[in-house]
Structure 1
Amino acid sequence: MAALFGGELQDPYPAYSELQEIGDGVHWSDVMQGYLVTRYADARKVGSNPKVFSSDLFYDSAPSWHDAGESEHLRFLDAASRLFMFADPPMHTRIRSTFRHAFTPQAIEAWRPIVERITTELIDRYPRGEEFDIMPGFAADVPVAVIAAILGVPDDMRPRFREWSYAYASTFDPMIRGAQRNRAITTSLELFDYLGELVAARKVEPREDLITTLVQTKTIDGDNLGDVELLAQLALLLVAGNETTTTLIGSGLTLLFDNPSVLRGLQDDVSLVPDAVEEFLRLDAPLHWVLRKAAVDTPLGDRVIPAGSIVWAGAAAANRDPRRFTEPDALVVSRENNKHLSFFHGIHFCVGAPLARLEGQVVFEHILRSFPGIRPGTAPALRRATNSIARGWETRPVIL
């Protein structure tokens, strides 16, 4: 299990399957200091009842990750502790309500031209017929460029946004500690400062962008988010959107290369791409583990989880649970009732899911239409990223 969370396993799914079939599928982990939940019904249960499985825990439950005597750590925690993903109602409800105008179907569709323009612009930089790694220069750049454009950030800030995004994402990994966490926090604070400048500017001079929308939207309580509250959510949008779409592109291409008949079928009928994207998300979830805390003694599996215990819901494991999905390890584009947990479940269902789906659909439609001869490359060697919570792809060589 230490190898699983240390990131050494390139393919964690056999280990997840083994854990599902041992006992009740719920296991204590000394490494993660909590219970691992690997079956679909139990993972969904964890997301269904915030009164029983609380989200109000992340930063105050792991004091060893941060130094209370460090001013940068305290400043970081002041912002990060206001994230609505780590809050229960009513705080969660109040903050999330500010997004009610931002991710409507109309808003998402209005962003489609932006996603299409950026996808074309970035993929056209690469030579045809030559081998290259699609992860660092395309898969990682698309979501950063899209969210930067939607937020109203100048194009020349994209490289910094990408650097900031990776640093902030690493602060959510409990295995990142010591000097490595210090560097990540320092870089994350640069992101907070920049977003604070944008928020202040939009209050004086509103624009047609997402920051202005969030600045002007009242919460359900009739007030506006405070500056620190708002910049915390903006930083989260950048990180969550980046990680999800980057991983989706790498995973989707890898799955298609491993299933050439499916690749040919999608090339023949790109109208199937939305269903394919859902199956990519199910088979290789960007976020593998979701953290909660048992608020009361509660039954889970064949045991009772003591109040105060950390619970890790394994979304990636649950997505391949044979109790829920037939042929759980197979890529089945026509799969019906594909209610995977990659965006999790309940009140904390990912607010940015519609944007991630749009990005995935546009990217794969463009690649399938424009590059019918796309095939896997061999160098650099295909390798997963090693974040123990969000497992993406470090490399994905291709030939267009």
Structure 2
Amino acid sequence: MTTARTRMPPRFDARDPAVVADPYPTYAALRAAGPLCRMGPGSWGVTRYADVARLVRDPRLGSEFPPDYHRMSAGDGPAGSFFGSIILYRDPPEHGRLRRLMARAFNPALVRRLRPTIEAMVTELLDPAARTGRFDAVSDLAFPLPVMVVCALMGIPPADHEKIRPYALDLSKAFAAIVPESDRPAADRAVEWLRGYLGEILDRRRAEPGDDLLSRMLAATDDDGAVLAADEIVDNAVFAFFAGFETTTNLIATGVAALLEHPDQQALLRTDPALAPRAVEEFLRYDGPIQGVARLAREDVVVGDRTIRAGRVLILLLGSANRDPEQFPDPDRLDVTREDNPHLSFGGGIHHCLGGYLARVEAQVTFETLLRRFPTLTAAGPARRQTDGTLRSYASVPVAVGP
């Protein structure tokens, strides 16, 4: 007697132009078909909230990929070697040591002290719009602000911000699943330049410490007296430019675009500015910058009726999980008043985003300031999606503002 062959899950291509434009109908079809979809060689996508929420905390899944994986992804240059020392791609016990030390240096109290500085930065960036009646939410606000904030966090002088910004942008190319050959030289140059620049700053902080993040990373010790090595500080500070720049840029741009598309939600937020924290959480759920994270199965893992063998890669589709109707009522509706919102846009478990608190503060300050300063926000032209980046993002969101 023979048994019927298990039907293969559907295939998902994240680079399909239709998916890049709007992935959510495809996610809905994938969730309806089952908990898994096929992706690249040896890799599976996880589509449903319950499975993603469980697996993002599962110790059998790791983020530390073999060096050959990073060389295949980013090449043999500085970008490929860089991933071996950053917290994003380390597993226990090294991950625990790095996270404890970095959390002592980069904690909510440090971010709270930075809030007035962020408010002043947002005000300054919006000043030209008050004169001209329009701005681009990407190039004039969401793009420059996070770099300014990360630089302030590290004590980098404002005169160097313009010099750093293009390297921070090129650094994002290194985080593609497979970095195109055409992007690898720029990604390598960005890693090499930022390592050199931050290494020099670190040398100065060693001689004259301050209260900036680099000084605090130098001074951080855990209960066993362990400290961060200089190369660990530099590479994780370089990583902070990506984590603190790309994600926040796209969160702000996506939030502005969402408010332009949903004037009823903009009106709610204007009526009750105290909704800003909830609105930011809803922007993260509704159209999060990070649509998926990769995990390496260190042991066999069962998803649905299929066993994923050790050594395979699972892509946890956060964007799909965040629109799962089994978890979120009316998930395709933007609702800035949504209370129960356990979205997964910052991951979970031991790899929960360390900079999530900073991103939330930046976004809250931005939307509070925008809506307080301008009585109207309307589209000044069609928003354009960024089609060649690693995250879900916009290239341009033109905005007209009331006087």
**Bin for the TM-score computed over the shorter chain:** over 0.9
C-alpha separation in 2, matches of 1:77 and 1:259: 41
Find out whether 1:383 has 2:394 as its counterpart: no
The alpha-carbon distance between structure 1 residues 388 and 324, as it changes in their structure 2 partners (threshold 3 A), is: farther
Alignment match, 1:169: 172
Equivalent residue letter for 2:71 = P
CA displacement, residues 183-241 of structure 1 (integer Å, 9 cap, x when unaligned)? 21122210111111111110111112111011110145422211111111111111111
C-alpha separation in 2, matches of 1:365 and 1:130: 18
SS in 1 for 2:337: coil
C-alpha separation in 2, matches of 1:258 and 1:58: 43
CA displacement, residues 225-266 of structure 1 (integer Å, 9 cap, x when unaligned)? 111111111111111111121111111111111211111111
For structure 2, the 5+ residue unaligned runs are 1-10
The alpha-carbon distance between structure 1 residues 349 and 67, as it changes in their structure 2 partners (threshold 3 A), is: closer
The alpha-carbon distance between structure 1 residues 388 and 145, as it changes in their structure 2 partners (threshold 3 A), is: closer
The alpha-carbon distance between structure 1 residues 330 and 285, as it changes in their structure 2 partners (threshold 3 A), is: same
Does the 8 Å CA contact 1:6/1:386 hold for their aligned counterparts?
Answer: no
Alignment match, 1:60: 68
CA displacement, residues 41-80 of structure 1 (integer Å, 9 cap, x when unaligned)? 1111221122x11111175325323444xxxx1x444432
C-alpha separation in 1, matches of 2:12 and 2:202: 42
SS in 2 for 1:393: strand
Find 2:274's aligned residue among 240, 254, 271: 271
Deviation of 1:95 (Å): 0.6
SS in 2 for 1:324: coil
Higher mean displacement: 151-160 or 365-374: 151-160
Does the 8 Å CA contact 1:289/1:313 hold for their aligned counterparts?
Answer: yes
C-alpha separation in 2, matches of 1:220 and 1:162: 37
Does the 8 Å CA contact 2:47/2:321 hold for their aligned counterparts?
Answer: yes
Higher mean displacement: 179-188 or 241-250: 179-188
Find 2:46's aligned residue among 32, 37, 44: 37
Does the 8 Å CA contact 1:129/1:399 hold for their aligned counterparts?
Answer: no
SS in 2 for 1:253: helix
SS in 2 for 1:341: coil
RMSD of aligned residue pairs (Cα, Å): 1.8
Find 1:25's aligned residue among 31, 35, 40: 35
C-alpha separation in 2, matches of 1:150 and 1:62: 29
The alpha-carbon distance between structure 1 residues 244 and 220, as it changes in their structure 2 partners (threshold 3 A), is: farther
Equivalent residue letter for 1:398 = V
C-alpha separation in 2, matches of 1:144 and 1:117: 14
Find 1:134's aligned residue among 130, 137, 156: 137
Find 1:111's aligned residue among 111, 114, 117: 114
SS in 1 for 2:175: coil
C-alpha separation in 1, matches of 2:315 and 2:223: 30
C-alpha separation in 1, matches of 2:166 and 2:42: 30
Deviation of 1:388 (Å): 6.0
Alignment match, 1:199: 202
The alpha-carbon distance between structure 1 residues 173 and 59, as it changes in their structure 2 partners (threshold 3 A), is: farther
Deviation of 1:118 (Å): 0.7
C-alpha separation in 2, matches of 1:169 and 1:354: 21
Alignment match, 2:367: 364
SS in 2 for 1:335: coil
* Identity in percent: 34
Does the 8 Å CA contact 1:288/1:389 hold for their aligned counterparts?
Answer: no
CA displacement, residues 8-44 of structure 1 (integer Å, 9 cap, x when unaligned)? 631111111111111x2311113x6511111111111
For structure 1, the 5+ residue unaligned runs are none
C-alpha separation in 1, matches of 2:66 and 2:380: 40
**Structure 1 segments of 4+ aligned residues over 6 angstroms from their partners:** none
Deviation of 1:128 (Å): 4.2
Find out whether 1:222 has 2:225 as its counterpart: yes
Find out whether 1:396 has 2:366 as its counterpart: no
Does the 8 Å CA contact 1:56/1:87 hold for their aligned counterparts?
Answer: yes
Deviation of 1:172 (Å): 0.9
Alignment of 1:1-400 (within 5 A): 4-5=14-15, 9-22=20-33, 24-30=34-40, 33-50=42-59, 52-57=60-65, 59-68=67-76, 73=77, 75-128=78-131, 130-378=133-381, 381-387=382-388, 389-400=390-401
The alpha-carbon distance between structure 1 residues 66 and 265, as it changes in their structure 2 partners (threshold 3 A), is: closer
Equivalent residue letter for 2:104 = H
Deviation of 1:180 (Å): 1.6
SS in 2 for 1:292: strand
Equivalent residue letter for 2:307 = V
Equivalent residue letter for 2:39 = S
SS in 1 for 2:258: helix
CA displacement, residues 106-125 of structure 1 (integer Å, 9 cap, x when unaligned)? 22211111111111111113
Does the 8 Å CA contact 2:79/2:174 hold for their aligned counterparts?
Answer: no
Equivalent residue letter for 1:65 = S
Does the 8 Å CA contact 2:103/2:354 hold for their aligned counterparts?
Answer: no
C-alpha separation in 1, matches of 2:17 and 2:204: 41
SS in 2 for 1:61: helix
Does the 8 Å CA contact 2:174/2:184 hold for their aligned counterparts?
Answer: yes
C-alpha separation in 1, matches of 2:393 and 2:54: 25
Higher mean displacement: 193-202 or 52-61: 52-61
Deviation of 1:307 (Å): 0.8
The alpha-carbon distance between structure 1 residues 171 and 220, as it changes in their structure 2 partners (threshold 3 A), is: farther
The alpha-carbon distance between structure 1 residues 289 and 7, as it changes in their structure 2 partners (threshold 3 A), is: farther
Equivalent residue letter for 1:342 = S
The alpha-carbon distance between structure 1 residues 58 and 324, as it changes in their structure 2 partners (threshold 3 A), is: farther
